[in-house]
Amino acid sequence: MHFGIFIYDGVEPIDLATFGVLSMARRVAPQLRISTIAPKPGPVRLANDLEVNANFGIADAPQFDVLIVTGGPGWEAQCQHPPTLDYLRRTTKKDTIVASVCTGGMILAASGVLDGLGATTKKEVIEGREIPPLQRMRKEYPKIDAQTALLVDSGRIITGGGVTLCIDLTLHLLERLLGTDVAAETARIMEYTTARKANRTQLQTIVR
């Protein structure tokens, strides 16, 4: 099973916890594969100058079983980047599960693939400095039923809440695709079982 993680200039490094969860999960399910995709292959400068290399560009990316779209300060530029939006639209038409974490949900919203669906995105910001992305989603994309949630699973498209909830969304994907035992054991060896339980208690998981 091949997971692709979509990155771009300005991704918040903590959103690469998606990669970290999958890396840990390979100890439990070694058949997992993980690749990174960006608008172009090669170096990608994340927020605060962390540099990583994308395995593929959107022009040469293979078809994935799952594509995870990350978030971060660069999300607004990606919302205005036609090749990215076209790539996401094309991917959702294939036999691929497309998921977003944090403000990656805003990029999916800009592509139009969330129209008519429930969705969530980052809610918490430094007050007075920016408008919460979830609030912006409600205002700018009225065709989306924007929810405060841990995640919203609409089948082929799944959106997750903000920042560290990317861990919970990735565990949800593992549970859905590989079973409860794989997700639970991955959470255990990450020492995340207690935090996962707390998040599930305090935030709703919406499955449609």
Domain boundaries, the chain: 2-207
Cβ(9)–Cβ(29) under 8 Å?
no
Helix axes 104-111, 82-92, angle to 10 degrees: 80
- Give the separation between CA 50 and CA 153, rounded to whole angstroms: 31
Q: Which two tokens stand for residue 159?
A: 């959106």
User: Percent of the chain, pLDDT > 90?
Assistant: 99
At 144-189, the pLDDT tens digits run 999 999 999 999 999 999 999 999 999 999 999 999 999 999 999 9
Q: Which two tokens stand for residue 1?
A: 């099973």
CATH assignment of 2-207, given 3.90.1750.10, 3.30.420.40, 1.10.3720.10, 3.40.50.880? 3.40.50.880
pLDDT interval class at 206 (50, 70, 90): very high
- Give the separation between CA 166 and CA 170, rounded to whole angstroms: 6
User: CA-based angle 155:158:163, to the nearest 5?
Assistant: 165
Helix (H, G, I), strand (E, B), or coil: what is residue 23? Answer: helix
Cβ(121)–Cβ(107) under 8 Å?
no
pLDDT interval class at 95 (50, 70, 90): very high
pLDDT at 99: 98
Q: Which two tokens stand for residue 103?
A: 């403000």
At 3-57, the pLDDT tens digits run 999 999 999 999 999 999 999 999 999 999 999 999 999 999 999 999 999 999 9
Question: Cα Rg for the chain, rounded, in angstroms?
Answer: 16
pLDDT at 64: 98
Helix (H, G, I), strand (E, B), or coil: what is residue 44? Answer: strand
Helix (H, G, I), strand (E, B), or coil: what is residue 196? Answer: helix
pLDDT at 112: 98
Report field, pTM of the whole predicted structure over 0.75: yes
- Give the separation between CA 33 and CA 23, rounded to whole angstroms: 9
